């Protein structure tokens, strides 16, 4: 009887040993870390005709301004507009197109370029942002000119769109100003103090959007940015200048403003 019991016990022990799980002597944790900080250096400017991550050579424009702003939320590039220096005085409503000739992303010189604005957000806050613009009335550079200001004349960015470094248009993420003829007409700051007139919201990012580099592009050629002089504005034989202030504000853009 004892032998039977012992034999059974040995058989069971053999079965247990044959299918036993490995014995874990130690189990310890270690971490893998990747740290990030905001890139506060001045950002490269992308070509609006080919805004890809691999094409970041600075465009050569006759009339655009690389701001050189530094920080984690920056306005990198704004247009310096020229509508010609020898326009003939004419009656009635007149519209003049911008003159922006430069070098495109392929290196071809003397090509027409669209006007654009570039914003880069590498803050990591995902808070969103907004770009608005306000223009002063056109004022004569000659203080003796009979007509000193053009109070009813204005600039319009037409056929506006937004683009990202991939070249993909994503208007659902960064909204652009849409008005009559899909253009953004700049309002006047009538007294030059910023308190009169209404800022026009050109491009903005809502909460969780607008990260990286974003371009606000006015069409595909200079013709899409215009200066309109209504018949009631009389001009003298001189040049007129308007100062356009572009303001980048941190915080989620309000879709109602667009």
pLDDT tens digit string along 131-155?
A: 988 888 889 999 999 989 988 888 8
* Averaged pLDDT of the chain: 74
Report the C-alpha gap between 153 and 137 in whole angstroms: 7
Give me the pLDDT at residue 12, please.
38
> What is the pTM (predicted TM-score) of this model?
0.76
pLDDT at 252 over 60: yes
CB environment 151-161: b (16+ within 10 A), e (fewer): eebbbbbbbbb
Q: Degrees (nearest 5) of the Cα angle 74, 52, 184? A: 55
List beta partners, residue 248: 131
pLDDT at 224 over 50: yes
Whole-Å CA distances, 199 to 45, 50, 89, 219: 25, 29, 30, 21
Give me the pLDDT at residue 94, please.
93
Nearest to 191 by CA among 135, 230, 245: 135
pLDDT tens digit string along 193-211?
A: 555 567 888 888 888 888 8
Report the C-alpha gap between 246 and 69 in whole angstroms: 13
Give me the pLDDT at residue 68, please.
85
Domain ranges in the chain are 67-257
């Amino acid at each position: 009887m004892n032998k039977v019991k012992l034999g059974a016990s040995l058989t069971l022990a053999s079965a247990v040993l044959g299918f036993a799980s490995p014995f874990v002597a130690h189990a310890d944790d270690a971490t893998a870390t990747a740290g990030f900080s905001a890139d506060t250096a001045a950002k490269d400017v992308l070509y609006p005709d080919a805004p890809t991550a691999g094409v970041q050579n600075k465009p050569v424009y006759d009339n655009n301004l690389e701001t050189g702003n530094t920080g984690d939320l920056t306005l990198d590039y704004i247009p310096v507009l020229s509508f010609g220096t020898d326009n003939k005085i004419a009656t009635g409503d007149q519209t003049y197109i911008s003159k922006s000739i430069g070098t495109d992303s392929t290196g071809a010189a003397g090509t027409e370029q669209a006007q654009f604005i570039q914003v880069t957000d590498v803050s990591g806050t995902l808070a969103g942002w907004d770009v608005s613009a306000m223009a002063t009335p056109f004022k004569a550079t000659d203080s003796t000119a009979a007509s000193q200001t053009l109070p009813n004349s204005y600039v319009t960015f037409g056929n506006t769109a937004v683009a990202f470094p991939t070249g993909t248009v994503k208007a659902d993420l960064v909204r652009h100003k849409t008005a009559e003829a899909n253009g953004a007409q700049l309002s006047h700051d009538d007294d030059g103090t910023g308190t009169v007139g209404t800022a026009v919201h050109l491009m903005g990012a809502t909460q969780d959007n607008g990260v990286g580099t974003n371009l606000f592009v006015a069409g595909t050629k200079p013709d899409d940015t215009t200066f309109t002089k209504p018949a009631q504005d009389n001009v003298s034989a001189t040049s007129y200048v308007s100062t356009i202030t572009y303001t980048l504000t941190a915080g989620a853009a309000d879709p109602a403003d667009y």
